[in-house]
Amino acid sequence: MFEHVLSVIIFLPILAGLLLLVTPASRTIARVSGLIISLATLVLSLDLYANFSATGHLEFVEYIPWIQSLGVSYHLGIDGISLFILMAGSVLLPMVYLVFTTKEKGYYANLLIVQGAMAGAVCAADMILFYVFWEVMLLPVFFMLGLYGGPKRLPATLKITLYTIAGSLLMLAAIVYLGVSYHAQFNEWNFAISKMAQLNLTGRVAAVAFFGFMIAFAIKIPLFPFHTWLPDAYTEAPTATTFVLSAIMAKIGVYGVIRFVVPVFDEQFARFAILLAYSGVIGMMYCGLAAIAQKDFKRMLAFSSASHMGIIALGVFCMNMQALTGTIYQIVAHATSTGVLFLFAGILEDRTNTRTIDDLGGIAAKAPVFALFFAIAMLASVGLPGTSGFIGEFMIILGAIKFNTVIGVLAGTSLIIGVCYMLWMFQRVFFEKSNANSENFKDLSLVEGLTFLPVIILIIVMGIYPQPFLSKITPSVALQFSQNPPVIAQTVTTNALLPELTIEQK
Amino acid sequence: MIHNYLFLSIILFCLGIVGVISRRNVFTVFMSIELMLNAANLAFIAFSRVHQNMDGHVLAMMVMAVAAAEAALALAVVILLHKHKSKLDTNVFSLLKG
Amino acid sequence: MTNDLMLLLPLIIIGAGAILLMLTSAFEKLNNEVTAYGSAIIFAVAFLVQLSACISGNAVIFSEAFNGILVVSNFSKAAGLIILACGFFTTLSSQTYFKQNNFCTPEYYSLTVFAASGMLLLTMAQELITVFIALEIMSLAIYILVGYDRKNVISTEAVLKYLILGAFAGAFFTMGTAFIYGATASTKFIKISQFIASHGFSQSPAIIGGSFFILVAFLFKAAAFPFHAWVIDVYEGASAPITGYMATALKAAIFTVFANFLVLDGTLQAGWIKYLFYIAVFTMFVGNLIAIGQQSLKRMLAASGIVHTGYLLIALVAVDSNAFTGSVIAYYLAAYAAGTLGIFAALSYLGGAGEKRKNFDDFKGLAKARPYSAAAISIFLLSMAGIPPTAGFMGKFYIITSAIEAGQIALAVLGIISSIISMWYYLRLIINMYFYEAEEQFNESVPSQSAPICTFVLVICVFAISLYPIAI
Amino acid sequence: MGQSVNYLGLIPLFPLLGSVLIGLIHVFAGKKFRISEKFYGILACVGPVLSFILALKTFVALKALAPESRFLCHKAFTWFSVGELHIDMGFLADPLSCLMLLFVTFIGSLIHIYSIGYMGGDKNYGKFFSYMNLFLGAMLVLVLGDSPVVMFVGWEGVGLCSYLLISFYSEDRSNVLAGNKAFIVNRIGDLGFVLGMAFLFWGIGASGFDFLSLKAHSGNLTPAIALTVCLLLFVGATGKSAQIPLYVWLPDAMAGPTPVSALIHAATMVTAGVYMVARFSFIYANVELAGNIIAWVGILTALLAAIFGMFQDDIKKVLAYSTVSQLGYMFAGVGVAAYSAGIFHVFTHAFFKALLFLGAGSVIYALHHQQNIWKMGGLKSKMPKTYFTMVIGALALSGCPPFSGFFSKDEILYSALATGHYGIWMVGVLVAGMTAYYTFRMIFVVFHGTPRDQHAFDHAKESPAVMTVPLIILAVGALFAGFLNLPAIFGGSQMVTHWLAPSLTEHHPHASLFIEIIAIGASVAAFVIGIKIAYTKFGQGAPAPEFKGFAEFAYHKFYVDELYHAIIVQPYKAIGSIIWKTLEPNVTDSPVKAASKLYMAIGTAFKVFQVGYVRIYAIYMIVGLSLMSLFLSQSLN
């Protein structure tokens, strides 16, 4: 493994994307080169994964000073938490190039850029660097949504962009506040994420900074009630963008919470965790219920994704090891399942020219492979044991019960809510009789089938044999909790309704 | 003694301000500005006297020179304005707004 | 003395160059082209000299020249670099601009260089009357440049407004100078500083009043609230390259001298910080609110210029008068200049004959017809909006860091909120360029390559500056 | 800890592999290469049969051990391990699971064989067997799982298969809706299961979350958590085993092919709840309140379903309600802490109910998918084998001595009586009578009397051997399975109860002979009365009755489905559309919308200040300057 592998994973796609944009390449060239680059990234990531030794600390560290007077540096590294988000991106993105063949050059170029930027945000070990990538990853989304989106794309574009930028600028202020506080407390400028955990933050300003971070991440995740950009954006965006947004970008929001908020603002976090947890749970239920009212399957998946993100975020707020590990696992599981579902939705839309659930029917009979794959992804998304979706959800619910019984029980309802709309949709789209729209539906081609096959297999493998993955995650998670034993690990909310059910801290 | 000079200077300055904001004729406005500059000059001279050095005089001369340059430009602008609209009312020139 | 002259070499080159250009423009054989390139060469030479001075970096931070009237510091050098670069790009953009607009004479370039000489002087000035003279050298040249299109009533109206209000502000400056002179018997910064140190700032009404008036004049030139109203109209009336020039070089010069003046004494700065705080806040927000409703691109950019003035005022509020380096201000000025100049350079060749394209809607669908220009403009806008990895982001980052470091957390947060507000009108142009179908073809050929090249170079600058680290 | 044997993992693996294989062949090669039905059929039976053989092997191995150490386990791999949570993908064979294992694989194999005939000609033949194998695999995981979490894998897996098989004829919307209903209702139960597991884990799971460790630490549970766990797990059981209030899905589930109804919705899956309660007997035994609740819910379900069963006119619906009713018995049994009795009834029920369903399937097959009993009649002569075996099944179901159902049902009723649950016992006896009534109502209407639909009757003929042979085998089971647990009063040794004893935490009540005789007497009397009424009304053939009053109410199943629809489904959808149509645009999104409106409004308003008059700009300056000076003078004072 060579030294700068993370840099290559980040900048290879970005540079390739930029190069595609500035050269008059044809769209075929764009697609092929995008595919090659993303496969190259995949190979590198897999190698990285194989060599990752799960020490819990950052690995593959790269460190180049940048603004020495402020301690800002080009500082990369991954641990068990970031590794999986990075992997999710690397594994999933090549599919887009294989499946969607007829898009414009800029589409593929932007995809490449967003892939690199997301990798950068995940690998960044310096807050400023993180912020840079965090913002950069929005730009391709902006252009893809605005250029290649649906008919109502402009308001959606504006909404997501302004919403997200507003959040992230608040985060910038909070980041700077952290750096300055570090300077004040240790008389040294530093913006390294890992150093911030040593900060002793109290008072109102710290609480404001905490919300600066939280709001930024809450918008990205999106956490109720900051989710209102999501239905429009997910629906109007071209499939690949929705895919990127839901499968990976939303996860980076959760990642941000784990990386920044939990270790740094331990006190504030412990104080507001219950509030945030309710926000997660309510969001899960709210979006899940809204999903049932959708006529458009893409929007339904959008709400479903938002609903799942609520539960994923909840895992972070429960502040125990099972829930947090569950969250990270669920991040990957959700990325694979929902991501693939969005791609399938894209295929459905491409082939039938409709997104209305009621216009379809009987596809299972016409396209058994497609239906099979769709069903597996759907079942993973509803958390069926034996698929990837179960492990994470189970651990999150487990942790939530420990954290607060009421929240745990509410979190459990995701088992029911998710399955309602999914089955209903599956029934209307895949079962029943076929009609004019679905009469000539073609099953997945060989290339498409082979494209999706690894992910479908991954979904099942991750459900049946998750331990190899978990063993890479747990050291980092354990480290996270060992860093803040006094506050976070001991915060257990007493259940006001049924005090005798409160789980004791051992 | 100095106070009297200063009072005069300030009164002139204020008159200049009032002229700028109340008059609409371009000429009068420029003259009002000249008045303000001259008020400053008066103050310079007066302070120069107080401090018993000639710096103030030099400064006044500089200001006058600059004022002259400004006035020259102002006249050119006035001519231009007149060419365009045949009027020297500042309110006429409000195409740029909003 | 020789040493002093060496330090002033860029200024001398520019001054001599300006006079030379003025003289040569009497010859009819010298057409606009030659003058344009001539002035560009003058700027380039001066820039390189300044750059070599920066790099060779004589360790003396405060090298006095001319008996303390002028001081060459790293800050002034940096500001000088920015101004010279702005001049360079402005002349080249103008060259292209005047292929489509025919009110140019060779004197135009001479005046550009003259303005630059005033600005350079301003960055170094450490004496109030020198400041005044430099200010007027600069302003008079800019007045003329604003109204250069004599046939155009808009342009004339712009110069009228600018002239009246500028002279009005100038009068305040002289009055303030007179007060300070009255109190301290000197107009040198160093003497004023000594006087305040011995007598105290708040004990001396003349110092308070005088510095107040001077502040007003600076705030006017920098277009801060409530002295901002002119800037919108004047920018609209002026030609695109000159608007860019005003927005960047002039602002750089003003903020340099403003900072120099403000830090001459700690108590002076402390006395005004409270006001500057509110002014900064109002400037940012008023600028934003004006920008929102604008249909004309230049008016929007003018209003956004007001907002950026607000950010720079944050930096001013946050400066530490005891260890003043001005690096944050200089960095922000450079970052802002790169973005703004870039846009105006692009407008110089995209505006069309007689600047027929000036509204947001006129640029709909530009990305299809001219993808590279649209991309460049987008990058500039993103830089102005402060989106990484552009220079504008780093500038904003430094400003916020310095503000929080100085304990001005509220100001930092308000600055952030303001940039959230500003996001929409920047994105609006990008959206117009990219996400709409073209209403026209943009098919006229670009008359000359210098403005496009400027645009391209500035794109590189936007990224290059962002990588350049500074010390706070 | 028990002995480790590797082949335990293979037991569920065979059908699972079979399922994958058949599924792949069906999807990718089925149409292209015209794979014959025979090939599918044989392939499909290999897995179950192999599993059955291994189950026998397991049984032999267990038998060889001393009763108190009858545990075989196999930890395939660490499934997931995070902090104190450590879950192995482990399998546990103890007497309880071994019993389940045996009859699940046995009946599963039989039904697979039967399906070869029944499903003949279906275009999704391969798909059917793939699902069936998948089901069997999942069921075996459920049975063998050595921790609640692994059990839950099977638990949800069988639910999935149930869904897939109910909506097997997916072109018909009502079938798919029935499938959806089954899955969703099951999911509601699963929520209880998951929450129960969570509480259990935080209660005592930290030192090992497999059944053996849990059992060892069960004393550490606080009463509150123990009760919570019991009730939550029981919620899970009500979903899977169709008890009040979640029984509604099971009758609808009859939309699936009949072998599915026999295997999943009668013999195996629906009894999982009982199995689970027995599995957790070490907790339930200590929480009497939970036991009582379970017993009452069970017996009331039995009553309710029996009432519904008396008025059904679909042959499968009759059987479905009878299943619900019998499941109620089983819960009554485990509720009064007679776990072995409950499990024994599961065991016998599997035989006779599978038999009845397969028999019904045979009838339906013969009549070309006619399910309405009022279109049948007199089939006795046409289908003697079916008739004969079904009567055996019916007698077993009705609790006629000495058929298997008699012994197991009697065991439950006796336990209820002996532990002092008189109310439960009385209801139980009543239900026994009703069972006899509706079962024989069905038998009489279908097989006796005169044909009601002559055309269908003429074309009806006995089913092929592949279908009747399983019927006969099951009939033998239905006849004799009861003797395995012959109580002492009949000279038996209660083999099953003793066999199960190491797995269960159970206290056998020592009741007098008198009580035993009362229990047996009442059951037999109820059976006789029930069958008598049925014979009087339907023995000679009767027309389809008109339902009035209570009967009509019962015919419509007390309108429970409609009620659920009105108070759960409709509000759920309504909330969804309220959120989407009202809340989202007008409330949640309104701050954003208001902000953007305000933004544009202020932006437009601010243009007013740019009046364009230079004089006014100067006034701005002066006003600003004056205000500043005002503050200045303030601050100086």
- Ordered per-residue pLDDT tens for chain C, 472 residues: 566 777 788 999 999 999 999 998 888 777 888 889 999 999 999 999 988 888 876 545 566 777 778 888 888 889 999 999 999 999 999 999 998 888 888 889 999 999 999 999 999 998 888 999 999 999 999 999 999 988 888 999 999 999 999 999 999 999 999 999 988 888 888 888 888 888 888 778 888 889 899 999 999 999 998 899 899 999 999 999 999 999 999 999 999 999 988 888 777 888 888 888 999 999 999 999 999 988 899 999 999 999 999 999 999 888 877 778 888 999 999 999 999 999 999 998 888 887 888 888 888 888 888 889 999 999 999 999 998 889 999 999 999 989 988 888 889 989 999 999 999 999 999 999 999 887 777 777 777 888 999 999 999 999 999 888 776 6
Minimal Cα–Cα distance from C51 to chain A, Å?
A: 21
pLDDT at B44: 92
The sheet carrying D3-4 orders its strands as D3-4, D72-82, D85-93
Phi and psi angles of residue A452, each rounded to the nearest 5 degrees, phi first: -80, -25
Decide if D602 and C292 are in contact by the 8 Å CB cutoff. yes
Q: Say how far apart CA A326 and CA A312 lie, in whole Å.
A: 8
pLDDT tens-digit map of D347-386:
999 899 999 999 998 888 888 888 888 888 888 888 888 8
Query: Which of C161, C212, C226 comes nearest D621 by C-beta?
Result: C226
**Helix, strand, or coil (residue C137):** helix
Would residue B81 count as lying in a domain? yes
Q: Say how far apart CA A278 and CA D489 lie, in whole Å.
A: 60
Phi and psi angles of residue B91, each rounded to the nearest 5 degrees, phi first: -65, -25
**Residue B16: domain span:** 2-86
**Residue C146: domain span:** 2-467
Measured between alpha carbons, how far is residue B69 from residues C11, C123, C137, C228, D594 in Å? 21, 22, 10, 25, 53
Q: Say how far apart CA C292 and CA C399 lie, in whole Å.
A: 23
DSSP 8-state assignment for residue C103: -
Q: Say how far apart CA A445 and CA D50 lie, in whole Å.
A: 36
Q: For chain A, give percent helix, strand, coil, nearest 5.
A: 75, 5, 20
Q: Say how far apart CA D340 and CA D352 lie, in whole Å.
A: 18
Residue recorded with tokens 């063949």? A101
Would residue C400 count as lying in a domain? yes
Q: Say how far apart CA D237 and CA D239 lie, in whole Å.
A: 5
Chain C: residue whose CA lies nearest to A153: C435
User: Within 10 A of D459 (CB to CB), how many other CB atoms are there?
Assistant: 12
C470 touches chain A (CB under 8 A): yes
CB pairs under 8 A between B and D: 29
A385, D157 in Cβ contact below 8 A? Answer: yes
pLDDT at A495: 55
Residue A467's identity, in one-letter code, is Q
**Helix, strand, or coil (residue D518):** helix
pLDDT tens-digit map of D206-239:
888 888 888 888 888 888 888 989 999 999 999 9
Determine the angle formed by the axes of helices C251-262 and C266-292, rounding to 10 degrees.
Answer: 150
Q: Which residues pair with D88 in a beta bridge?
A: D78
Decide if C164 and B90 are in contact by the 8 Å CB cutoff. yes
pLDDT at C131: 92
Q: Which residue in B80, B81, B88, B94 has the most chain C C-beta atoms within 10 A of its own C-beta, making it the best mutation to test that interface?
A: B80
Chains contacting C (3+ CB pairs below 8 angstroms)? A, B, D
pLDDT at A75: 92
Q: Say how far apart CA D36 and CA D29 lie, in whole Å.
A: 11
Would residue C155 count as lying in a domain? yes
Alpha helix stretches (DSSP H) within D481-569: 495-500, 513-538, 550-555, 560-564
Decide if D613 and B91 are in contact by the 8 Å CB cutoff. yes
pLDDT at A501: 64
Q: Tell me, rounded to whole angstroms, the distance of Cα C295 from its chain centroid.
A: 23
Chain C: residue whose CA lies nearest to D631: C275
Report residue A183 as tokens: 């300077």
Q: Say how far apart CA D596 and CA A234 lie, in whole Å.
A: 20
Chain C: residue whose CA lies nearest to B27: C164
Band of residue A506 on the pLDDT scale cut at 50, 70, 90: very low
Is the predicted pLDDT of residue A35 greater than 60, yes or no?
Answer: yes
Q: How many domains are contained in chain A?
A: 1
Band of residue A118 on the pLDDT scale cut at 50, 70, 90: very high
Question: Which candidate, C268, C163, C292, places its Cα nearest to that of C214?
Answer: C268
Q: For chain B, give percent helix, strand, coil, nearest 5.
A: 85, 0, 15
Would residue C472 count as lying in a domain? no
pLDDT, chain D, mean: 87
D153 touches chain A (CB under 8 A): yes
Q: Which residue in A10, A20, A70 has the most chain C C-beta atoms within 10 A of its own C-beta, making it the best mutation to test that interface?
A: A70
Phi and psi angles of residue C359, each rounded to the nearest 5 degrees, phi first: -95, 160
Residue window 305-334, chain A: list those with CB within 8 Å of chain D: 320-322, 325-326
- D289-313: buried (b, 16+ CB within 10 Å) or exposed (e) per residue? ebbebbbbbbbbbbbbbbbbbbbbb
D392-411: average pLDDT: 88
Band of residue A396 on the pLDDT scale cut at 50, 70, 90: very high
Q: Tell me, rounded to whole angstroms, the distance of Cα A156 from its chain centroid.
A: 20
pLDDT tens-digit map of D119-153:
877 888 888 899 999 999 999 999 999 899 999 99
What are the chain B neighbours of D626 within 8 Å (beta carbons)?
none
Minimal Cα–Cα distance from C182 to chain B, Å?
A: 5
Decide if A180 and C401 are in contact by the 8 Å CB cutoff. yes
Tallying the residues shown for chain A, one arrives at: 506
Q: Say how far apart CA C79 and CA C13 lie, in whole Å.
A: 16
pLDDT at C106: 87
Residues of chain D with pLDDT > 90, as a percent, come to 24
Looking up residue B32, the CATH number of its domain turns out to be 1.10.287.3510
User: Within 10 A of B39 (CB to CB), how many other CB atoms are there?
Assistant: 25
B93 touches chain D (CB under 8 A): yes
Chain D: residue whose CA lies nearest to C278: D628
Counting other chains too, the contacts that D203-210 makes at CB distance below 8 Å and 24 or more residues apart are D203/D229, D205/D84, D205/D85, D206/A506, D206/D84, D207/D84, D208/D86, D209/D85, D209/D86, D209/D87, D209/D147, D209/D148, D209/D149, D210/D88, D210/D90, D210/D92, D210/D146, D210/D147
| ipTM above 0.95 for this complex | no
- A22-54: buried (b, 16+ CB within 10 Å) or exposed (e) per residue? eeebebeebbebbbebbebbbebbeebbeebee
pLDDT-wise least confident of A439-443, D308-312, D356-360, D598-602 = A439-443
Q: Tell me, rounded to whole angstroms, the distance of Cα A384 from its chain centroid.
A: 20
Chain A: residue whose CA lies nearest to D201: A398
**Helix, strand, or coil (residue C70):** strand
Would residue C159 count as lying in a domain? yes
A434-442: average pLDDT: 82
pLDDT tens-digit map of D439-475:
998 888 888 888 887 887 888 888 888 888 888 988 9
Decide if D618 and B95 are in contact by the 8 Å CB cutoff. no
Residue D102's identity, in one-letter code, is L
Q: If residue D91 lies in a helix (H) or strand (E), which one and from where to where? A: strand D85-93
D623 touches chain B (CB under 8 A): no
pLDDT-wise least confident of A1-5, A8-12, C274-278, D330-334 = A1-5
D131 touches chain A (CB under 8 A): no
User: Any contact of C with B, at least 3 CB pairs below 8 A?
Assistant: yes
Strands C70-72 and D3-4: unpaired
pLDDT, chain B, mean: 90
Q: How many domains are contained in chain B?
A: 1
Residue window 43-102, chain D: list those with CB within 8 Å of chain A: 77-83, 85, 89
pLDDT at C340: 93
Report residue C237 as tokens: 């009336």
**Residue A296: domain span:** 5-501
Computed on alpha carbons and rounded to an integer, the radius of gyration of chain C in Å comes to 21
Q: Say how far apart CA D508 and CA D567 lie, in whole Å.
A: 43
Q: Say how far apart CA D557 and CA D24 lie, in whole Å.
A: 42
Decide if D629 and C212 are in contact by the 8 Å CB cutoff. yes
Looking from the CA of A337 toward its CB, the CA atoms found within 13 Å total 32
pLDDT, chain A, mean: 87
pLDDT tens-digit map of D14-42:
999 999 999 888 888 767 777 788 888 88
C298 touches chain B (CB under 8 A): no
